[in-house]
Every structure is written in structure tokens, then in C-alpha cells.
A and B are shown apart, each in its own frame.
Chain A
């Protein structure tokens, strides 16, 4: 029996406008943005191809990492389409793919490492222990949506 191969694409979203508005990350908005881009690039066929097993989720609101799951094969469409996403729900963004993994375990290992790096950078600017602890909590935890995946 052949198992289904999946691909998980991790990417980081940077908001272009520097306004300090609280970032509202909505899964459906991300979902639509990706689908719209695939529709532009590959048309109806692309949409139909990525539809099976497609899901998009945010991992962490502070580091702004999102993860997209797709079947092996049509993930190539996604890899091409994701970097050229320019706006999500009307906000200007730039998207950077960090990692493409075959299992969610490896993706989490990568996220852990990545967030550790971010944390170390942030710690340099902070002095007190409580601030540091708060920062650690903020960066190293995942959103509740991801809990069921771990």
C-alpha cells in the first residue's frame, strides 16, 4: 500500500506597512489569498489540483509563521504561488518561504529552532528577568489551532 505524500510549507509573513495596529491574523483570509494567487497563475486547473488535502494555519501570532499543508505534486504550484502573495485581506505583506517539509514533526523542529533564534535576538534588547520571561512565553508558544497537530 502506498501512503499519501504530503508537503508542509512553512513561511513567514512580514507586514509592509509599519503601523502598529494589532495584527489580526485570520485563517480564512490567508486561505483566500493563496487560492487567489494560484487562480491567477494556474487557473481553474491549479485550484482543482491543490484542493485535495489543502489547509492553511497560523502557528504563532508574534513571529508570524504560517503553515500550509498540501499533497505532494500540487505543492509545486503552492511553492511558486506563495512568494508572490502581496496582500492578505487588504494589507500589504511580503512572504518568505522558510522550509518545505514532508512531515509535520520536522516542521516543528524547524519552527523551534527558528523561534529560538528570534528569542535570542530579542533578549539582547531586554534587561529584566520578567520581561525576558514574558518574551519567551510569547515567542515559544504556538496558537491553540496548532495544538491538535502536535
Chain B
């Protein structure tokens, strides 16, 4: 994973349309055109995949089987080559879960390591609570559910302290059914913690649902974010999130060391310039 300084906007959730990689190319080129520079391609995992293996695991009594679970990972290498220099592409997994115990199984999976970002989408209140307090994930995303979640300040603060980011996906705003709940959740973030650690991503799987980042900044005032926060939710917050994800990966804090040798030469040139100027003044 390569997180360098990048200038463009981030969109950390792009789904593959109809599970066909070919359909992804027009979406990505559209995003690129709108000024997005960093993209994460999402894979949704349901807990039912793990559920069947859990029984087997009980029989054998070994965690080796759980390591053998292979998800349908998207091969992003080709896409990376295609968009080299235009987009930075990451891999992201979203785990839909109602039973928190299943996350332990997922943690043992070796294929989890191949993903750069790990998002957790709780389905029950209990799962949300555990995710905020214990889970070592990068993102908690509150997807509209038949059951509504209750958040409180303590829970939110705990999650923030552990560096977990909350995600708002604007595809839910385009959907009539889920619009109310999505706005409601983002208002909760606003009331409980002034919308700290909130990122805005598309979650789209269709070229028609992608919006211009500056339109999104205007849209975000509906979500209780002011202009500065809205811009940050697509820029700096996402960068911090990626750094954190790197830390989770390696178990260490990540920082970037830059080569400064070029800078020195600039200073020397500057010094020479000053010398020249002095000589001119003496004349």
C-alpha cells in the first residue's frame, strides 16, 4: 500500500456494478474526471459465509479451516495498471454482521490481510456497541436497516478515541426509503460529537449515482456538516483513515520519510543567489 501525499478527493467506497469488473472502468474514469484521486473498491461480505464454516470448525475444533475461507476478491492489479498515475486504488472489505462473535472468525482469516481497509456494518444494536468499544476496524458504516440504531455520546466518544471513522454513503440519500434514516444518523454524529471522524463516500455501483465533490460539499449541509468539515470528510479525514489502516495492518504507527536532498540544493542555490546579489550591491 502506498499512501503518499495526494491532492485530489477521496472516495473510499465504490462497489463493482453487477459483479463485473468490465463495468467498473467507466465508473472509475467518471470519478477521475470529477477530480477524485483515491478510490477504494469495495467487497461486501455477509456473515452467512462464515456461519456455515463455523459448524465445521466446531467439529474439527481447529481454527485452520477459518483461515482457509477465501472470499471472491477482486483482482485490482489490472485496474491499478489501467489507471496508473490517474487514480490510486485500494481494496476495501465491508463485513455485514449481526453477531459480534463472528468477527473473531474473520480476524483469523488470512484473506482479510489482503484488504487495505476494513469496514464493519453492524446489523444489531449489540454488534454496533461491541464494534465501537472493541473491534479493530477502520470504518463503522451505518447502513439503513429494518432495525434502527441508538447511538449515545459515550459510545461515539469511545469509537473516536480508538480512531474509528464513521461513514456516510450518499447513495442512501438518493434512495427515497433510506433518506430519512441516513440524515438522522448523520445528525446524531453532529449532536454527539460535532461530526468528528466522519467520512463521506459514494457507495455507488452505478455511473448515474456519482456526484461532483463540490456538489457533495453543498449537499453535506443537510447532513449537519459545515463546509470545512464537508471538505475535510473527503480529504484529510480519509488520509488519516488510510494511515490508520496502514497502522492496523502492520501493528505499528505509520509515518512517511521523505527525501530532503533536493531541498538542500535549493537552499544552496538560494545562498549563491544572495552572494551574487551582495556582489552586485558592492558594485
Contacts and interface: CB of A to CB of B under 8 A. Distances in A.
Chain A complexes with chain B = yes
Interface of A: 4, 44-45, 47-49, 51-52, 71
Contacts of A4: 191
A48 B191 contact: no
B188 interface: yes
A48 B180 contact: yes
Interface of B: 176, 179-184, 187-188, 191, 222
B222 A52 contact: no
A45 B222 contact: yes
Contacts of B222: 45
A51 B191 contact: no
Contacts of A45: 183, 222
A23 B189 CA distance: 41
A44 B180 contact: yes
A51 B176 CA distance: 17
A47 B182 CA distance: 11
A71 B192 CA distance: 12
A85 to B, nearest CB: 20
| Interface hub of B176, B187, B222 (most chain A Cβ within 10 A) | B187
Given A44-B180, A48-B184, 12 more contacts: A44-B183, A45-B183, A48-B179, A48-B180, A49-B183, A51-B180, A51-B184, A51-B187, A52-B184, A52-B187, A52-B191, A71-B191
8 contacts: A4-B191, A44-B183, A48-B181, A48-B183, A49-B184, A51-B180, A52-B187, A52-B188
Chain A binding site: helix, strand, loop or mixed by DSSP?
Answer: helix
B179 A49 contact: no
Nearest to A71: B191
Contacts of A49: 183-184, 187
A19 B181 CA distance: 40
8 pairs of A and B residues whose beta carbons are closest in the complex: A48-B183, A48-B184, A48-B180, A51-B184, A44-B179, A44-B180, A47-B180, A45-B222
Nearest to A3: B153
A105 to B, nearest CB: 22
A12 to B, nearest CB: 29
A47 B176 CA distance: 13
A4 B187 CA distance: 13
Nearest to A73: B191
Contacts of A47: 180
B46 to A, nearest CB: 27
Nearest to B179: A44
Contacts of B188: 52
A3 to B, nearest CB: 10
A4 B153 CA distance: 10
A105 B187 CA distance: 27
Contacts of B181: 48
A84 B54 CA distance: 57
A78 to B, nearest CB: 15
Nearest to B183: A48
B188 to A, nearest CB: 6
Nearest to B173: A44
Contacts of A51: 180, 184, 187
A50 B94 CA distance: 30
Contacts of A48: 179-184, 187
B148 to A, nearest CB: 9
Contacts of B183: 44-45, 48-49
A48 B183 CA distance: 6
A80 to B, nearest CB: 18
